[in-house]
Structure 1
Amino acid sequence: MRNFYLYVIVFISGAAVLAVEILGTRILGPFYGVSLFLWSALITVTLAALSLGYAVGGRWADKSATLSRLCFLVAGAGVWLLLIPWIKQPLLSLTESLGLRFAVLASAFIFFAPPLTLLGMVSPYAIKLKTASLNVVGRTAGNLYAISTMASVISALLTGFFLIPNFGVSRLTLAIGALLLITAVIGLIADKKSKLAALGIVIILFLSAAVVWVLPSNDADPDKGLLAVEQSPYAEIRVLDTNNRRHLLIDGGTHTIVDPSTWRSHFSYVIVMDLTKAFFEKPGELLLVGLGGGSVVKNFANDGWKVDAVEIDPVVIKVAREHFGLEASEGNIFEMDGRHYLLRNEKNYEIIAMDAFGSSSIPFHLVTEEAFALIASRLKPDGVLAINIEALGWHHILVRSLAATLNKSFSQVLALPAHPSSERIGNLIILASNRELELSLVEGDITDMNYVSSPAYHQNLAWQNRFAPDLRDAPVLTDDLNPVDIWAEATNLAARRDLHRYFAESGLSW
């Protein structure tokens, strides 16, 4: 019985390791954004913690290895995981001042190093307990590590493909902590020699009940304005009503802001994106890559354009329809990756609009020389490509490098700022085409008190401030070399700080 239960402990511990690592992206992502830095920090902490656990666990096992001590290691990891949803908000706020890279690394270390170190100690402990003689130590170690690794494989698939999208992050974190505690309790009961078993059971169960009882809820709360919280295969999705506006948050970043009574967008870049219609005498066909809440789809459909929209996340599509008034008649929605759609479909469009880039997440495969060449082949001869990006200033390296890359496939490249400050964070619409990009806009009535909030104001401001980005020393992005994650770091940090201040009063954005 004891030998069999060692296999059970090793299996469950191995499964917990990978589940915790994957959960880390959903615990930290809504606050800092899911970026290359976040994944690097999580992998670094996981490997470092496991290495420490292997080393310390092996030494402790040589001194005095017992099943009850092994169970208390597992219980310790379980208790820590039960605490994570409860201590998440204060600790993330505490580390924010460290800057993006160090904040992400510090947060990952605080949250995950303790439980992963304890779980790393399990395998050497189990090997010591299971080994009957030196003649079978190799086989014993191999079997236990094989069981642990297979459990990690199964856990990785279940966590990413099924558990997070269907059960949510907080519930799953609690479930893993509880499973580790239950595993430890059964082991203590099985180890009849353990005098601490009864006391351990009482303490563990008390701590578990107390933590679950006081845990802050992470579910939707319509009375407070939090209309939806959903975990998709790609991100955490929230719909939040505050300041008389409805917000679509994807991993904590704002992707749509509308008036819920009219569905009018409060994002100036959406208004500036509308300028592309003026290049054509009559409505044509638009391909939108990145749906968000559907503001761009609505604006074009209302003016008679035929719209195809590509969105990789099924939950974003669902939320756009349920909470942002997106109607089936307004456009054809395709659930797939944007580049994959362009490869599979040879349809040509007057306008291709790319709105799939957040401050922390720029899908690198959509902004390369190869991707832009593909897009150019899907535009009509007088077609226009419009890209919405967020950058820390008009002349940020990201803006200049995107322009240099676009220039490989398009003769005309212009940047239209959607905000008046050339040095601060904000959105820009980058236009690219093989036609002349010239417009004659009608000035609005500047004596009108509402003029500064009108579409005409934003469009005129953007067009008057248009510029051709400086291409000197700007690298061309390719599928092979694309450092957009590095360049987006400062933008992401500035955007997150602004968002945390904006949503501070509600406290419901992450």
Structure 2
Amino acid sequence: MTIRFPVLIALILALSAVGLTYEIAAGRVLAPFFGTSLLTWTTVIATVLGGFSLGSALGGIVAERPRAVALRNVRSALVATAVLMAVSPTLLGLLHSWGVRGTDGMMLSVILVFFPASVCVTLPSPLLAKLAIEARPGREGSSLGFVLAAGSVGAIFGAILAGFVTLPLIGSTATFAACGVAVLLCLPFVRGGQTGTPGTTIAAAVFVVFAGLAGTPACQYESGLSCLHVDRQGPEVRLVSDGTMQAAESTAPGEASDDGTVGLALSYTEWFWARMDRDLGPDPSVLFVGGGGYTLPTKLLASRPLAEAVAVEIDPLVTKVVRAHMPRAAEMIARTGFDAAEGDGAGRRLGIFHADGRVYLNETEQRFDAAVMDAFSSGSVPAHLVTREAFARLREIVEGPVYVNLLDRPDGPLARGVHAILRELYPHVEVVHGARTSTGRTNVLFAASRLPLAPLDSLPDRYSPARISDARAFTDDRGWVGHR
């Protein structure tokens, strides 16, 4: 029994779409365990492309076998693909629970979890391409062109489907299961030769559906940008994004300050607030690049009734989760927050922009008295927010001091690059750092100003002045590449 040419092209397109959807979902599901950086995406892309290459080579060997054997091998590869894709997030979680950590652990996890399915999903393509070319004798050239085009169109469709539809709407775990279902749906169209055992296919289908419905989601709240968890530790509500704690709010009654606001729960925000409280007047306008838990804007507006703030947060889901789980920040947003992209919010003092911080800096005409740079993607700052060009633009729109939070070693490469930028742009730069974690990293905090910075009476517990070595300033052309 032959397979019609349009069906073969549709199969090639579908499997290519599944392959790219799987690749993008792999990068997303890594975030809660290993963060998101240039290194994680490079590893995922290299591993999946390596799997595609080996799958194509093995598929070519399969395509040369007797037709009945080749078709049986292809159907087996499709069943294996479905199972391997559906089980990917579970395997990743198991490896992490067994203590796989760091850059080496991330690379090992990616290879063990995502390489096998990448091989299997590509293995059918050479046989399908051969059958497509044989289906139109005398038109081999155009048939090959359609095969190549179908592969490319499928990849484009898969990338769009993952980034704009499945990951934001159903999450990464269900996306992997959906990939498995899509592969199994291809099986009835791969006809001819000896059929496999129906029980095996049925068992695989049941397993894939079960994995999608019963599998533990990698994220409590998930969008195309963030993997969020809300963690309650006694009186503290903590917001964790891609495995890194982004914000915390203390609701303990005994920690209320003189202005009636609740004390800040993270030590780095205590230093930021002490610095801001000393540096700013009674009615400042402050830009916050990175909304996070909105704790600092809440503190500012509660303690200074004439102050105004603009918070730029790239992911609307973060704001939604804060409003649902962090009561003090939620109350401030409800009382005085407004969508700054839709109007001037007359009578309200907290403008919220859901946009990329660099895009906002480039486009805004508003001027500010101070700025706080506290944007993170997983465990590091997005590269385009720590360049000379970004801070030069910030200096144009901010008259007063700029405060910056980084996660790095006290004299690490990110801290050195940002320090070099600030020293170029500002005559007065102060740097402190907290206690190192088990990874050797900590919060490295900067205050940069045109005017001298008045000394603080004290530092938060376990914080001390930092000594930063000279380094090359990051630029848009040669910027920060991230780290584990």
Shorter-chain TM band:
0.7 to 0.9
Measure, in 1, the Cα distance between the counterparts of 2:369 and 2:36.
33
1:95: how far off? 6.3
Contact 2:314 2:357 in 1 (8 A): yes
Measure, in 1, the Cα distance between the counterparts of 2:456 and 2:184.
69
1:288: how far off? 0.5
Which among 472, 476, 483 is matched to residue 473 of structure 2? Answer: 476
State how many pairs are aligned.
451
Contact 1:417 1:429 in 2 (8 A): yes
The Cα offsets for residues 156-191 of structure 1, whole Å up to 9 and x where unpaired, read as 11210121111111111111112212321x236x43
- Superposed, 1:191-202 pairs within 5 Å as 191=192, 193-202=193-202
Contact 1:416 1:430 in 2 (8 A): yes
Query: Residue in 2 aligned with 1:61?
Result: 63
1:269/1:211 CA distance change after superposition, 3 Å: closer
Query: Residue in 2 aligned with 1:269?
Result: 268
Which among 180, 184, 187 is matched to residue 183 of structure 2? Answer: 180
Amino acid at match of 2:442: G
The Cα offsets for residues 171-218 of structure 1, whole Å up to 9 and x where unpaired, read as 11111112212321x236x43x534353443443454466567x4432
1:273: how far off? 0.4
Measure, in 1, the Cα distance between the counterparts of 2:64 and 2:198.
26
Amino acid at match of 2:247: T
Contact 2:77 2:121 in 1 (8 A): yes
Amino acid at match of 1:75: V
Match of 2:455, SS?
A: coil
Query: Residue in 2 aligned with 1:353?
Result: 372
| 1:218 matches 2:222 | no
Amino acid at match of 1:84: S
Contact 2:271 2:459 in 1 (8 A): no
Query: Residue in 1 aligned with 2:259?
Result: none
Contact 1:369 1:477 in 2 (8 A): yes
| 1:437 matches 2:453 | yes
1:180/1:78 CA distance change after superposition, 3 Å: same
Query: Residue in 1 aligned with 2:204?
Result: 204
Query: Residue in 2 aligned with 1:223?
Result: none
Segment of structure 1 superposing worse, 204-213 or 240-249: 204-213
| 1:296 matches 2:296 | yes
Which among 132, 135, 139 is matched to residue 130 of structure 1? Answer: 132
Match of 2:65, SS?
A: helix
Amino acid at match of 1:311: E
| 1:408 matches 2:424 | yes
Which among 169, 172, 182 is matched to residue 169 of structure 1? Answer: 172
1:416/1:457 CA distance change after superposition, 3 Å: closer
Contact 2:177 2:208 in 1 (8 A): no
1:104: how far off? 2.0
1:334: how far off? 0.9
1:261/1:171 CA distance change after superposition, 3 Å: farther
Match of 1:266, SS?
A: coil
1:244: how far off? 4.3
Amino acid at match of 2:250: D
Measure, in 1, the Cα distance between the counterparts of 2:205 and 2:387.
54
Measure, in 2, the Cα distance between the counterparts of 1:265 and 1:379.
25
Amino acid at match of 2:242: D
Contact 2:92 2:109 in 1 (8 A): no
1:429/1:153 CA distance change after superposition, 3 Å: same
The Cα offsets for residues 40-91 of structure 1, whole Å up to 9 and x where unpaired, read as 1111111111111111111111122343432222121011112223323112
Query: Residue in 1 aligned with 2:341?
Result: none
1:409: how far off? 1.1
| 1:385 matches 2:402 | yes
- Superposed, 1:317-332 pairs within 5 Å as 317-325=319-327, 326=330, 327-328=332-333, 329=336, 331-332=350-351
1:368: how far off? 1.1
Which among 153, 157, 162 is matched to residue 156 of structure 2? Answer: 153
Which among 113, 118, 121 is matched to residue 119 of structure 1? Answer: 121
| 1:89 matches 2:120 | no
Measure, in 2, the Cα distance between the counterparts of 1:415 and 1:157.
42
Amino acid at match of 1:271: E
The Cα offsets for residues 426-482 of structure 1, whole Å up to 9 and x where unpaired, read as 2132011110112363xxxxxxxxxxxxxx7628x75xx435x4453x111111111
Amino acid at match of 2:366: K
1:201/1:373 CA distance change after superposition, 3 Å: closer
1:233: how far off? 2.3
1:245: how far off? 2.5
Measure, in 2, the Cα distance between the counterparts of 1:164 and 1:470.
40
Measure, in 2, the Cα distance between the counterparts of 1:199 and 1:218.
28
Contact 1:255 1:358 in 2 (8 A): no
Match of 2:447, SS?
A: strand
Match of 1:265, SS?
A: coil
Match of 1:430, SS?
A: strand
Query: Residue in 2 aligned with 1:338?
Result: 357
Measure, in 2, the Cα distance between the counterparts of 1:75 and 1:20.
15
Query: Residue in 1 aligned with 2:221?
Result: 230
Aligned residues: CA RMSD: 2.6
1:307: how far off? 1.0
1:261: how far off? 5.6
Match of 1:241, SS?
A: strand
Match of 1:309, SS?
A: strand
Measure, in 1, the Cα distance between the counterparts of 2:452 and 2:208.
67
Unaligned runs of 5+ in 2: 254-261, 338-349
Measure, in 1, the Cα distance between the counterparts of 2:286 and 2:157.
42
| 1:249 matches 2:253 | no
